[in-house]
Amino acid sequence: MRLRSLLKTVIQRYGTLALLVNVLAGVLAGPALAAPVTILALGDSLTAGYGLPPEAAFPVRLEQALRSEGRDVRVINAGVSGDTTAGGLARLEGALTAGPDVAIVELGANDGLRGLDPKLTYGNLNTILDRLGAKRIDTLLTGMKMPPNYGRAYEAEFTAIYPRLAAGHKVVFYPFFLAGVAADLHLMQADGMHPNAAGVDVVVAHILPSVRELLDRHAAGFARVKP
């Protein structure tokens, strides 16, 4: 009855045409536009864009690639050059104030280069994934490989950290962040450790399927459960 009375009042005051215009305007406006999906890229120099202009950094190029596919995203560059997994863990709470929907964790290379105990690296990454999971933030974990500087045993133990964590936390897993780049000097900077701008584009192209999986998981609703 209230609706009928309201319609009668509108028609009496403004006429049928005005009513139709208002109804059509509401239909055409539709629901409010959703906010972009915010991706937190938590990492070290490989994420930060060491040696590159800001526009060539991994988070920027990843955002551009995803937007070119029609995905409404915002990628936050939370990379710090020289950072270890301990540093990433220490920064995590501050990074989360940006309110990310999903996260990419790219950490560990500096642990390996310094010969840190893989058990410490595992523990730090495990805590990072625990905290992201507690906040229901779907996560993509990127793996890292080490040259055999510290021996084959260390290399094997370090490399095994990532698939073990990914399986335990049920996160999206990309085995090697520098896949397709690390062995190509044309895609690396002079230090042989960081990708150049062309190399970053290769990294983005290779990791895109995993990022799409991450975003699709988010769209379907958080479902990560640690056994």
Domain of residue 75, CATH code: 3.40.50.1110
Residue 78 in domain: yes
Could you give the percent of the chain with pLDDT greater than 70? 83
Say if CB 215 and CB 102 are below 8 A apart: yes
- Strand pairing of 102-106 and 172-174? unpaired
Question: Which residue did the predictor score with more confidence, 108 or 224?
Answer: 108
Is the separation of the CB atoms in 141 and 126 below 8 Å?
no
**70 and 118 share a domain?**
yes
Distance CA(224)–CA(96), nearest Å, equals 18
How many domains is the chain built from? 2
Whether 194 is catalytic is: yes
130/25 same-domain check: no
- Candidate list 5, 68, 186, 191, residue with the active-site label: 191
The model's confidence at residue 19, banded by pLDDT at 50, 70 and 90, is very low
Please say whether the dihedral angle defined by the alpha carbons of residues 86, 51, 46 and 67, taken in this order, is positive or negative.
positive
Shared-domain flag, residues 28 and 43: no
Q: Given the residues 44, 83, 194, 201, select the one marked as catalytic.
A: 194
Read off the pLDDT of each residue in 135-146 and give the average, rounded to a whole number.
96
* 90 and 140 together in one domain: yes
Structural domain that includes position 168: 37-220
Angle subtended at Cα 222 by Cα 221 and Cα 224, rounded to the nearest 5 degrees: 145
Q: Is 26 in the same domain as 44?
A: no
| Residues 58 and 142 occupy one common structural domain | yes
For residue 22, name the pLDDT band (cuts at 50, 70, 90). very low
169 catalytically annotated? no
**pLDDT tier for residue 4 given thresholds of 50, 70 and 90:** low
Residues 15 and 113 in one domain: no
In a domain, 137, yes or no: yes
Domain-embedded: residue 191: yes
Query: Does some domain include residue 15?
Result: yes
Q: Which of 44, 45, 111, 201 is catalytic?
A: 45
In sequence order, what are the residues at sequence separation of 6 or more whose Cβ sits closer than 8 angstroms to the Cβ of residue 89? Answer: 124, 127, 128
162-212 pLDDT, tens per residue? 999 999 999 999 999 999 999 899 999 999 999 999 999 999 999 999 999
- Give yes or no: residues 120 and 151 share one domain: yes
| 226 within some domain | no
Q: Please indicate, yes or no, if residue 139 is contained in any of the structural domains.
A: yes
Question: Which residue in the block uniquely carries the two structure tokens 């495990």?
Answer: 126
Q: Examine residue 227 and state whether it is found in any structural domain, yes or no.
A: no
Same domain, yes or no: 148 and 43 = yes
Q: 218 an active-site residue?
A: no
Shared domain for 3 and 82, answered yes or no, is no
In a domain, residue 25? The reply is yes
- Integer Cα distance of 1 and 39 in angstroms: 48
pLDDT at 222 over 90: no
Same domain, 41 and 28: no
The yes-or-no verdict on residue 3 having pLDDT over 60 is no
| pLDDT tens-digit readout, 31-59 | 455 789 999 999 999 999 999 999 999 99
What is the rounded distance in angstroms from the CA atom of residue 3 to the CA atom of residue 11? 12
- Tell me: do 13 and 62 sit in the same domain: no
Statement: residue 23 has pLDDT above 90: no
